[in-house]
Amino acid sequence: MESSFEKTVKRAKLALMDILIHDIYWGVITPSQALLMLYGLPPPTPKQTVKEMETIFVEKEKMLEKKYIIILEKIVSLYKDYEHEKLNEIKGTEIDKLLKDTEDYLKRLKELREQIEKRAQEKTIDQIYSDVFSLLETIFGKKPQEKTIREFEEKLVQTGKLPQQSIRTLKNIINAKAEFKKGKLDSHKINDARKDAAILINDLVDYSQRKDLAVVDRTRMRLKYNEDNKGKFAELLVCEGKSFLITDKSIKKITDKVELSGMDELSKSVDEKKEKKNIELKPRTFELLKKELGDFEIVL
């Protein structure tokens, strides 16, 4: 029979192993789950965690070495054996190795977290830069960066179309990208660059919309004419290669002749018109308008 001393020792060993196994298991599972969530995955179950860590960080991203998955698998395997009462005791040398492996694993996870955060920051900076210069390309055309900056300052800032701080914001975004490539940009500065870029992008979108509206206004005319001895109004919309006469009864397309049209064709032509810088009104259009409306005048 076991003595009371032997029973006490056995209970103490079991209690110690219970604390040890649980602490080590949850000590590696919880931060592993956190990294998978940081990567963008939904919270994985403990059972899914080992497979997801290998699939994402070893196989797909190649950011983590296979030996760390082996450490994680070993800890999970010990925990399962303990849960199913297949493991009752661990030798001191095994505990020492288990603790060292756990320490190495957690140290590597900390490095992995920094890698993931840096990659996310890099995507943010690249996206900010790309969004801003895509808009500038829409406005000024595809040009070298330095020429784009010069035209931005001369044509938009110096003319008062955009506020003075816009040029500083643009240069800050360019500098932020350069500083990040050198590893000198922290998360605080990245957030500042994101906020500044949002303001600049809104200003550029507003300017583009005003510019589009100005084009529309130059190619839109309000006409006054008589029908059945009553004064009526119509609208002439000038598009590329054709015009549209809009009255309270119909939409008609004017090319070298006048023919019925509809809202679909009109909308499509308006969208195409926004991409054209110079749209001319053909002189023959007025001749056809006079045949269609009779005498008319342009209302300012």
* pLDDT of 62: 92
Copy the structure tokens of residue 173.
């975004």
pLDDT digits (tens, 9 = 90+) for 26-66: 999 999 999 999 888 898 998 899 999 999 999 999 999 99
pLDDT digits (tens, 9 = 90+) for 131-177: 888 888 888 888 899 999 999 999 888 988 888 889 998 998 888 88
Task: Show the 3-state SS of the chain.
Answer: CCCHHHHHHHHHHHHHHHHHHHHHHHHHHHHHHHHHHHHCCCCCCHHHHHHHHHHHHHHHCCCCCHHHHHHHHHHHHHHHHHHCCCCCCCCHHHHHHHHHHHHHHHHHHHHHHHHHHHHHHHHHHHHHHHHHHHHHHHHHCCCCHHHHHHHHHHHHHCCCCCCCHHHHHHHHHHHHHHHHHCCCCCHHHHHHHHHHHHHHHHHHHHHHHHHHHHHHHHCEEEEEEEECCEEEEEEEEEECCEEEEECCCCEEEECCCEEECCHHHHHHHHHHHCCCCCCCCCHHHHHHHHHHHCCEEEEC
* pLDDT of 9: 47
pLDDT over 60 at 198, yes or no: yes
Question: Taking the CB of residue 31, how many other CB atoms lie within 10 A of it?
Answer: 16
Q: Which of 75-84, 208-217, 220-229, 248-257 has the lowest mean pLDDT?
A: 208-217
pLDDT over 60 at 2, yes or no: no
> With bands split at pLDDT 50, 70 and 90, how would you rate the model's confidence at 15?
low
What does the alpha-carbon distance between residue 172 and residue 166 come to, in Å, rounded to a whole number? 10
What does the alpha-carbon distance between residue 103 and residue 97 come to, in Å, rounded to a whole number? 10
User: Is there a contact between 252 and 244 (Cβ–Cβ < 8 Å)?
Assistant: yes
Longest CA–CA span in the chain (Å) reads: 122
pTM for the complete prediction?
0.52
Copy the structure tokens of residue 121.
């920051």
